[in-house]
């Protein structure tokens, strides 16, 4: 178990998949992610099997639980590049305006600590679509640096959205 101040990370289990599928298939979530299709239980089971069996893992994902041991979200590191020591940070909590909650701040902080301290990564990064303004604001609170922008990368709500790349280095986290 990996513990923050308000949340804990635990392994994802097959009985979590129904909730994760429901959360990910919500329109407000799906429109801010790379996934454009509705996810099925087949997709979810294959995804969980891949992240549990892959060695070395290209993704490490956790269930996020609150102090009452209730699953409130999922987070992890994806696109892990072990040689060059970087990974994409991924986080979603099933809370209203989750990006502004104390739990989201604790989740991101705990995930950064895990990535930098436990895995000895040098760089954590995130690709965020402009449609997800709240996600951009959350990264800015942690002083992630905007590295660049990919123009018109996502088609949602009848228009094109740019993608922004943010990152944080281990030496910036340690300050």
Domains of the chain with bracketed CATH: 2-173 (3.40.630.30)
Rounded to two decimals, what is the model's pTM?
Answer: 0.89
Q: What is the pLDDT of residue 32?
A: 78
Q: How confident is the model at residue 64, as a pLDDT?
A: 96
List of E strands, the chain = 2-3, 8-10, 60-65, 71-81, 86-93, 123-129, 145-156, 159-169
Predicted local distance difference test score (pLDDT) of residue 8: 96
Residue 101 has a pLDDT of 86
Query: Quick one: pLDDT at residue 168?
Result: 98
Question: Of the ranges 36-45, 51-60, 61-70, 77-86, which one carries the lowest mean pLDDT score?
Answer: 36-45
Instruction: Give 80's pLDDT tier (boundaries 50, 70, 90).
Output: very high
Instruction: Calculate mean pLDDT across residues 63-71.
Output: 94
């Amino acid at each position: 178990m990996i513990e923050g101040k308000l949340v804990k990370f635990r392994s994802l289990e097959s009985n979590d998949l129904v909730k994760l599928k429901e959360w990910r298939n919500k329109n407000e979530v799906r429109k801010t992610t790379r996934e454009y299709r509705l996810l099925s239980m087949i997709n979810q089971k294959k995804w969980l099997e891949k992240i549990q069996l892959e060695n070395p893992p290209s993704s490490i994902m956790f269930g996020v639980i609150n102090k009452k041991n209730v699953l409130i979200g999922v987070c992890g590191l994806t696109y892990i590049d072990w040689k060059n020591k970087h990974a994409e940070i991924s986080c979603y909590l099933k809370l209203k305006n989750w990006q502004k909650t104390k739990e989201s701040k604790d989740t991101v902080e705990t995930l950064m600590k895990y990535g930098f301290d436990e895995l000895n990564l040098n760089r954590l990064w995130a690709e965020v679509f402009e449609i997800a303004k709240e996600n951009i604001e959350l990264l800015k609170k942690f002083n992630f640096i905007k590295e660049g922008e990919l123009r018109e990368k996502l088609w949602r709500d009848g228009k094109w959205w740019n993608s922004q790349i943010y990152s944080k280095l281990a030496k910036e986290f340690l300050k």
